[in-house]
Amino acid sequence: MFKFLISNIKHSFTKQQLMTFLLVVVQLFSVIVITFSYGIINHYNFTS
């Protein structure tokens, strides 16, 4: 199972570079959105 996972990740980096790049961009964007939303919620709870 773990060997298959490593093999799949290696194949993804070598053969599907565009898809890997898009996956990284989506992950970073979701982290930014979650952090921004958390900041807004905390600010709203603090001022209310």
Position 17 scores a pLDDT of 84
Can you give the pTM of this predicted structure? 0.61
Q: Give the confidence band of 47 by pLDDT, cuts at 50, 70, 90.
A: low
By residue count, the chain amounts to: 48
pLDDT top residue among 1 and 31: 31
Position 29 scores a pLDDT of 97
pLDDT digits 0-9 by tens, 5-39? 888 888 877 888 888 899 899 999 999 999 999 99
Q: Is 45 exposed, middle or buried (0-12, 13-18, 19+ CB in 10 A)?
A: exposed
